[in-house]
Amino acid sequence: MSSLVRTVMQWGKPPSPKAQMDVCEACGVRPKFNENGYTHPYCGRTCAASSTAASVKKKKGLGLLGCSLPGCQSTAGPQFGGYCSDAHAKQAVRRNFSQGCIQCGIRPRISGAQCIECQRTGSPSPSGKTSTVVREINANGASFKSVVSNVVDSWKPDEPDACDAPTVHRVFEVVLPRKAQAKFNSLRKRTPSMLDISTFHSSQCVCDLGTKSPLSLCDFPSCGICCAVNSGFASFAFGNPHNTGSLGDGIYSYTNSFRADKHATSCTSSPYRVMILCNAIVSKRGVGPFISQSVRSVSDKSCSTYFSVN
């Protein structure tokens, strides 16, 4: 009997109003996207991007630039890389609206692969020092193909039984701290009559660079490759400030990839050899007693820098 009463009472209730769906603020059709309990103002990235673009266009007409985080109507500040605050810049990376800086991974990339903060000061490594970052280049991309072409085209053996150019398996881009980049660019501007050429530097690699994840440079004092990359060629294996060779003390690099490959050695289980492809600023005419063998570059260091042109 009680069951029947409850049923009758249910029949007697007025129909409850149907819950209204919380729809996307852009299209007004699809429901808003819910992510781990947080409801976004839009149904997806397409509507978020279109709404943001419309907001930015409107504010540009007023001479203002809107925050790039979808749903935010505040004015962006240049110090936050297109966002209204540091919090929204970080939030955009966490929600995958923006690609994170390869150095800190916290703030959005602004120019190249780094955020504004890392470009300005560099991101500290666990040891507290400003870090150099390496990232792998897509094997199907134009940059990878350009490096391969550079290695193969400059491979000019000077020995009768020399092998053909090696196969390039992986290419890594080196992102130096902003101060190191600024120093090189400053030198380039101060010496407009100099040549900017591509050269190859090789040394002993004692780590498994490029064979393990996560990709990183080692801290071994005996690793000539990682020491050179970490310091921006300011120091080499065991802290030496230069290389020592037949032309004297300096930094030895070669336009001929074959000659650089002779110095590429590995003392690990890795089957690969490592060469560094780098830009060098050199004089258009050789100087000193090595004019037929090398040209001397401009350098801010106390030691000379030599580049073989044979």
Reported as a single tens digit per residue, the pLDDT across 56-106 is 455 444 445 778 888 888 888 777 878 888 889 889 888 888 887 776 778
CB atoms within 10 A of CB 253: 26
Nearest to 209 by CA among 260, 148, 274: 274
CB atoms within 10 A of CB 39: 11
pLDDT tens-digit profile of 269-305? Answer: 778 889 999 888 777 654 333 333 333 333 333 334 4
Which residue in the block uniquely carries the two structure tokens 């029949």? 11
Q: Which one has a higher pLDDT value, 173 or 56?
A: 173
Nearest to 309 by CA among 288, 298, 294, 297: 294
The answer to whether residue 128 scores a pLDDT higher than 50 is no
Question: Which amino acid makes up residue 192?
Answer: P
Overall pTM surpassing 0.75 (yes/no): no
pLDDT tens-digit profile of 192-208? Answer: 877 778 889 988 888 88
Which domains occur in the chain, in start order? 24-87 (no CATH), 99-129 (no CATH), 133-308 (3.90.228.10)
